Chain A
Amino acid sequence: MATIFPIAAGKGGVGKSFIAANLAALLARRGRRVVLIDLDLGAANLHTLLGIRSDGGGLERFLAKTTDQLDRVAVPTPLPNLFFISSANCAMEIANLYHAQKIKLINAIRRLPADYVVLDLGAGTHFNTLDFFLTALNGVLVCVPEHTSIENAFRFIKAAYLRRLKQIINHNAFSSAIKNAVENDSGAGLGAADIVELVLKHDPKQEMALRKAIARFRFHLILNQVRRNTDSTLGEKIVTACNRHFHSPFDYLGTIDLDERVMDASAARKLLVALYPEAKTTRDLKHITDRLTIAQLPSEQL
C-alpha cells in the first residue's frame, strides 16, 4: 500500500507546490513509483512546474465519472517512475468539491498502486484540505520565517487537530451523547476543548484511547525561503514548541534557503532538482526527502 505524503501550509505562497513536485521527483529518482496529485483544486499549478501540457484529462475525468479508476488518469512525466494527476482541467467550480466526491477521491488515493503518493494541497483550513491532509498518518507542513506564515501554520495544526478529533469520534465507539454532539455540530460550535470535555464527562474511559489515537499522527515541518538573517535554529524552536504544547509528535525536516533559481526553474517549466542538480537547494531537498522517509510513521488507514 502506498505511503501518502500530503504537503500543506497555513497560507499560500510558501512553496508547497514547489516542494511537492521536487520531493516527488527525488523519491522517483530512488527507483520508487511515485504518483503526484494536484489537490490545490481551483488553483492548480503543478502542471506548470512540471512543464506538462497535455494531462490526459486529469482529475476531472475521475470526478466526472468518465473513469472510476484513479490510476487511469495519471500521466507519465519526463522523469521515470514519476506519474502525475493534474487538476488543471477541472470544472470551474471544483474548489467546492462535494462531500461524496471527496470521500470517493480519498478512497481511490489510498488504493493507488504506487510506492509513494504526494499530495499538493490547497492553502488554508477548508474541511476538504484538512481531510486530504488526514488521509495519511504523516503530514508535511511548509512555512516561511515570517509571522504571518507561522501564525497560519499554528492555526492549521489546531484545525487539523479538531478535525482529527471529530473523525476519531465518528469512526469509533463513543457514547451516543458524544457522537450526536459531534455529528450535529455545524462547524460554528464545538471546539477541541469542548469535545474533550464531552468525552471526559460521558465516556471517561475512552479518554486514553482518544489520546493515543491523536498521537498517531505525525507532523513534519519544512522551513522554506530562509534568508541570511533568519535565526538558524528557528525551525528547531518551532518544532520544540509544537512537541511541547500539542498532543501529536512533530519532526523537523530542515530548511531551504530563499533561492531565485526556484523562480528560474518555474519560468523554464522544469523541476529545480533536474535543472540545477548541484545547487544547494537541491541538496537541501534531498536531505529533507531522506529525513522524511526515515522519520515517517508507517501509513495506515484511519
Chain B
Amino acid sequence: MKPLSTLTHYEILNVTPDADAPTLRRAYRQALEMYREDALPTYSLFSDAERSEAIDAIETAFHTLNDPDRRSAYNRMLASADRQKDTGEVVARKTAEPLQGDGLASETRKREGSPLEESAGEATAPEADALQDERVDAERPGDTEGTAPTMASGASLPPADRAGKATEAPPRAVAEEAARHLADTVIGQETISGADLKQVREALGVTLDAIFEQTRIPHSMVQMIEADRFDTLPEDVFLKSFLQAYARILRIDPQRVAAGYFNNRASRRPEGE
C-alpha cells in the first residue's frame, strides 16, 4: 500500500495552494477525522504502524503549511522538484510510487539498501519484455541521462554544454575537467543541496543505473535525495550511509557530502521536525 507521505502536503490535506488559515484548520480536522482508528472510510485499512505514519504525515502537512515561513520554504522546494520534472527526469510522486505489498509500506521503506523502490522509467523492461496487451509507454526520460547535461544544470558549466538534450557530448577531457571543477566548488559549500549533487552527478556522467549497480541505492531514493524531498527520506543513519556511498561513486569527499546535505536540510527545516 502507498503511504500518505508520497503526497504533497496540499494533497494530504486536500487543499489548494492558496488555502487560508481557517481552510487549513478545517482540512486538518477533517483529515484527522478520516484517519482516526475507527473512522469508517479507513476502517481496518491500515496496520497500527501505517495508521500512525499517516497521522504523522497529516500533522507534518498541517504544521508546515500553517507556518508562513515553513510554507514558503516548502513551496520553493516543491517548485524546484517540479522544475526537475520538467527537464525530463521523473520525480517519484504519487502516481509513480513504489509498488509495495499490502501492508509493509512504512517498515520496508526504512530497510537499509532496500531495493523496494520503483525505477521510474530508468530501467524499464525493453519492448521485447513488455507484458501481454501492454505497451511499455515512453515514460522513460533517461536517454540523455549521463550524456549531455540537462538544461537545469547548465549554469556552472562551459557554454558548449548548454545546448540541451540533443547535443553531442563535448570532448571527454574538457567535460571531465569542468565536472571536477564543479564538484570541487560544491564540496566547498557549507550547505549542499540535492540539486547541487545532481548537477555534479550529471556533469560527471554518472547514471542512476550506475549508482544502483554499485551501491544498490534505488533510482527513486537518489531522485528523492536530489529533489530534497526530506520528508520521504529514511532515517539519518541510513541517509548518511546512502549519501556517503553516492559520494564515493562520484569520487567526491563522502564526509563533506553528508555534512553538507544535512546542513542544507537543517537550514530548510526548523528544529524538532
Chain A interface (Cβ within 8 Å of chain B)?
145-147, 150-151, 154-155, 158, 161-162, 168, 171-173, 191-197, 200-201, 204-214, 216, 231, 234, 237-238, 240-241, 244-247, 300-302
Contacts and interface: CB of A to CB of B under 8 A. Distances in A.
Contacts, number: 121
Interface in B163-199: none
Contacts of A204: 115, 119, 123
Contacts of A151: 43-44
A231 B43 CA distance: 15
The prevalent SS among residues of A at the interface is helix
Interface of B: 1-4, 7, 14, 34, 38, 40-46, 94, 97, 99-104, 108, 115-116, 118-121, 123-125, 129-134, 136-137
B123 A205 contact: yes
A193 B44 contact: no
Instruction: Give the top 6 A-B pairs by smallest Cβ distance, nearest first.
Output: A193-B101, A237-B41, A151-B44, A211-B99, A192-B101, A192-B102
Contact of A150 (B2, B4, B40): B40
B108 to A, nearest CB: 7
Given A150-B40, A245-B2, A205 B99 contact: no
Nearest to A173: B129
Contacts of B34: 237, 240-241
A161 B2 CA distance: 13
B136 to A, nearest CB: 6
Contacts of A210: 99, 131
A241 B38 CA distance: 14
B43 A147 contact: yes
A12 B119 CA distance: 40
Given A195-B101, A209-B131, A241 B125 contact: no
Contacts of B102: 158, 161-162, 191-193
A208 B119 contact: yes
A213 B118 contact: no
Contact of A194 (B1, B101, B129): B101
Nearest to B120: A208
Given A191-B101, A214-B99, A200 B1 contact: no
A168 B1 contact: no
A193 B104 contact: yes
Contacts of B41: 150, 234, 237-238, 240-241
A213 B134 contact: yes
A173 B126 CA distance: 12
A171 B115 CA distance: 24
Given A173-B131, A192-B101, A212-B134, 17 more contacts: A151-B44, A162-B102, A191-B103, A200-B116, A206-B125, A208-B118, A208-B123, A209-B130, A210-B99, A213-B131, A231-B40, A234-B41, A237-B40, A238-B41, A241-B45, A245-B4, A245-B46
A240 B133 CA distance: 28
Contacts of B40: 145-147, 150, 231, 234, 237-238
Contact of A171 (B97, B125, B130, B132): B132
Given A194-B101, A201-B115, A244 B7 contact: yes
Contacts of A154: 43-45
